[in-house]
Structure 1
Amino acid sequence: MTTPQEELLPGTRRALLHRIAVAQAEGRAPSLVATVVRGGAAVWSGARTAVEGAAADEHVQYRIGSITKTFTAVLVLRLRDEGVLDLGDPLEKHLPGTGVGEATIAQLLAHAGGLAAETPGPWWERTPGSLRPELADVLGERPLVHPVGRRFHYSNPGYALLGALVEKVRGASWEEVLRREVLEPLGLSRTSVHPMAPYAEGWAVHPWADVLLPEPAEDVGRMAPAGQLWSTTADLARFASFLMNGDERVLSAESVREMRTPAAAVEAADVAGGYAYCLGMEIRHQDGRTLVGHSGSLPGFLASLAISVEDDVAAVVLANCTSGPAVSGATADLVRIVAEAEPRIPAPWKPLREADPAVLELVGQWYWGTHPFALRLIGDGLISLGPLSGSGRRSRFRSNGDGTWTGLEGYYAGELLKPVRRPDGSVSHLDLGSFVFTRLPYDETAPVPGGVDPEGWRGIG
């Protein structure tokens, strides 16, 4: 239930309903359901079904396919945050004997481990997992099709390995760890490895006739961490809110921000299409908007989750057909409709409760050579440094508690900013990864690399 301030306007709700109605009708989906999230809560849900009275709403389960991978990535990031492993560790260190152990955990998360896209036959999505009881059956005789770490190549077996890694480290099944560490803390009671009523049946729609064929709903066994889960749009709306804001019971805001950051080199065609892969999440640039999330499919089902962090809007679309509706395009449109019709209202500006005088001494204008920059003290105990006007390198910085600051994004992510003081305690300059920022352009009183001409600034006669 939303408060009057949170409810969408009638025109926005109608536009959302129209968009999913078009998706269901043109895509010939037996049913299609959607939910929109704003401000951390679901603010709209809608459904269209081909069968009058058939269950289709935000509480009905659908298979979500590869959105499962994002859940698996959350489990791996939890292990990293606990210090149990490092993303730079080779898989062999924690899960020996796979034959592909030189790939790092980060490379597997980003589909850069060089692994094949699919398991050896038969088609794993339409056959029981009992046909692949061991990891060796998932990997086959030729598990690597590219050099490790050289390129992005989407790999379902790679996420089966990550699920096995979680099981090995935790000493429990992937399903049990997921339920205990993610589903229960986030209140995702309608997300499960096996379907729970009410749930949608999966269908194939004939490409040239309006008739249906039921699809098998197999338990894919060891491939479960790559695509087994069933969920609802209500649960995925809560999951989308978590992926935007974090939850200290599961992952911090900083860690989910890391998950949303591109982590793999992509093909030229993907670059041109505005697509990249992060750590268990996809990122797309569409209509001037950056969307993160994941798509998913298994025979009989299509799924998409898309988030615009800047707009604070997310959308989920689920359908029970093998092909037809372009669910990724639909989620992008649902986000766009809300973001454009009802733009995000900024939180009111509030002054800081207190400010460290040593930090206030740093704020203001600085010069990198002749380029003017502004350093500002902002909320959450951070400072920001960026060009005084126009585009250029900019970043927020987090205090290290010792007078230095670490960059959080962009070119300066991870770089150290250090105020350098004169013997009398006054600030001489800022050192940022060897770059010297001075109060005046090429300030002769600061140790500018290469020195400053003693005759100073001059005209040309």
Structure 2
Amino acid sequence: MLVTTESALLRRLATEQAAARVPSIVAAVVRDGEVVWWGARGSVDGTPPDDDTQYRLGSITKSLVAVLVMRLRDEGRVDLNDPLEKHVPGTSFGSSTVGQLLSHTGGLTAESPGSWWERTPGGDWAALQASLASDAVKNRPGSRFHYSNVGFGVLGELVARHRGRSWLEALRVEVLAPLGMTRTTPHPSGRHAQGYAVHPFADLLLPEPSPDAGAMAPAGQLWSTVRDLARWTSFVGGDTGDVLRPETMAEMRAVATVEDGDSWTSGYGLGLQLVRHQGRRLAGHTGSMPGFLATNLVDEVSGTGALALANTTSGPAILGLVVDLIGLADEHEPKLPPEWRPSEVDRGLLELTGLWHWGPTPYLLRLIPGDLFELTPVRGSGRASRFRRVGQDEWLGLDGYYAGETLRVGRGADGVPLYLDLVTFVFTRTPFDPAAPVPGGVDDGGWRVE
């Protein structure tokens, strides 16, 4: 980036490190799958940390586990509306659905019973399940947002049962290896930061423990680096490679619940935290474990993402720091839109494009990159959606009002497209075409003055 931009970013990082007394902190800005800036302050074992120094991710781990669950959903093994009992039988909270667990609306207790799981070695699944035999449900499933670390311990077990291997091994094979995230591990490996608590009234440090969390590990076990977390941030922004369909990631970024009511500055999707700030919609996750703080976020519109990793239990406003880094990057160097170039399309689909009418209201059906259709009203706002082909003359709604609904093409005897049937709404080439099966029929007298 420009020297002036890099100076502004480094100053913001340095100010946070000094004011919050952070032993060490690293941060980066990501665009188009690349780290365009990274910086560090403080020291690890006497020297500045670099982009390959490991820090603990904490709850960012949850977003990786969520991708494993969504892969199972895309394979047809799991439905988000399935009760947990269908996949992990025998719990006291089996009526909570998979989707509710992903969005922290399943009603489960926030923490596992017994000693605080973040500071003590964890037991296996049997021990966790036994500890939750009673009083595990604190709210009616689906009634409200209630952050639950336990819920993601449960989702890790769900993944393990479907894959026949631990959630961690599934993560290595299905996500980390394909994305080249070789420095993301369950325990520190190679150069890594020691986690510390900073004395509130003196400039002293206290080492913090980092035990294996056992069955609770899917809630916050992983360690990673700037390089690996940058790749993950790009992934959350839609650069999903062969690991996940981009539309599935878009579904994960969609709002499932709002944490702070009408103000809607903080919400949750499917395994992802959502932030609204000064007109921006950001998606990613925060993380905290004893001795560590972490955050990664990406602006789904501009595509600019940022991340920060610190080895302190508390102090820095790390979420605000990451939000500011994204804002500074986009303010100093607004990203140019991609240069438009013509591209080949399935020309057999061209006959479906153009003007269609829902009653008297004109809509446009356009081919967009990825061989998707986009249906939008010609004037003003209205029900707009994108569609992906799922069969001969059948298209699935991906977003907007028609998300999940099926658009079917009706053809005349000559094979020419005559109408579109979208969940009983019939679109015709001309308004109220009497040759099409318009619901309720068309008046025999046709159009008239009065």
TM-score normalized with structure 2 length: 0.91
Which of 405, 423, 427 is matched with 1:437 structurally? 427
Counterpart Cα distance in 2 of 1:230 and 1:223: 15
Counterpart amino acid of 2:225? T
Asked whether the 8 Å contact 1:120–1:138 carries over to 2, the reply is yes
Which of 160, 172, 175 is matched with 2:168 structurally? 175
Structure 1 residues 144 and 425, CA, compared in 2 at 3 Å: closer, same or farther?
Answer: same
| Counterpart for residue 85 of structure 1 | 78
| Counterpart for residue 308 of structure 1 | 299
Asked whether the 8 Å contact 2:71–2:244 carries over to 1, the reply is yes
Counterpart Cα distance in 1 of 2:24 and 2:126: 34
| Residues 403-412 or 340-349, more deviating | 340-349
Cα-to-partner distance string for 1:153-201 (whole Å, 9 max, x where unaligned): 1100111111122223333333333223322222222211111232112
- Is 1:22 the counterpart of 2:15? The answer is yes
- Is 1:272 the counterpart of 2:263? The answer is yes
TM-score normalized with structure 1 length: 0.89
Asked whether the 8 Å contact 1:293–1:305 carries over to 2, the reply is yes
| Residues 247-256 or 150-159, more deviating | 247-256
Counterpart amino acid of 1:389? R
The SS at the match of 2:258 is: coil
Counterpart amino acid of 1:407? G
| Residues 198-207 or 15-24, more deviating | 198-207
Counterpart Cα distance in 2 of 1:397 and 1:131: 43
The SS at the match of 1:400 is: strand
| Counterpart for residue 257 of structure 1 | 250
Which of 373, 376, 385 is matched with 2:375 structurally? 385
CA drift of 1:62 comes to 1.1
| Counterpart for residue 333 of structure 1 | 324
| Counterpart for residue 312 of structure 2 | 321
| Counterpart for residue 66 of structure 1 | 59
Question: Equivalent residues in 2 for 1:273-288 (5 A)?
Answer: 273-288=264-279
Asked whether the 8 Å contact 1:64–1:229 carries over to 2, the reply is yes
Structure 1 residues 130 and 354, CA, compared in 2 at 3 Å: closer, same or farther?
Answer: closer
| Counterpart for residue 396 of structure 1 | 386
Question: Equivalent residues in 2 for 1:165-314 (5 A)?
Answer: 165-263=158-256, 265-267=257-259, 269-314=260-305
The SS at the match of 1:283 is: strand
- Segments of structure 2 that go 5 or more residues without pairing to the other structure are none
The SS at the match of 2:39 is: strand
The SS at the match of 1:436 is: strand
Asked whether the 8 Å contact 2:247–2:398 carries over to 1, the reply is no
Counterpart Cα distance in 2 of 1:293 and 1:48: 23
Counterpart amino acid of 1:283? L
Q: Aligned-residue CA RMSD in angstroms?
A: 2.5
| Residues 395-404 or 314-323, more deviating | 395-404
Counterpart Cα distance in 2 of 1:211 and 1:354: 63
Number of matched residues? 450
Structure 1 residues 130 and 355, CA, compared in 2 at 3 Å: closer, same or farther?
Answer: closer
| Counterpart for residue 358 of structure 2 | 368
Identity of aligned residues (%): 53
Counterpart Cα distance in 2 of 1:146 and 1:417: 38
Counterpart Cα distance in 2 of 1:391 and 1:131: 52
Counterpart amino acid of 1:406? L
The SS at the match of 2:341 is: coil
CA drift of 1:225 comes to 0.6
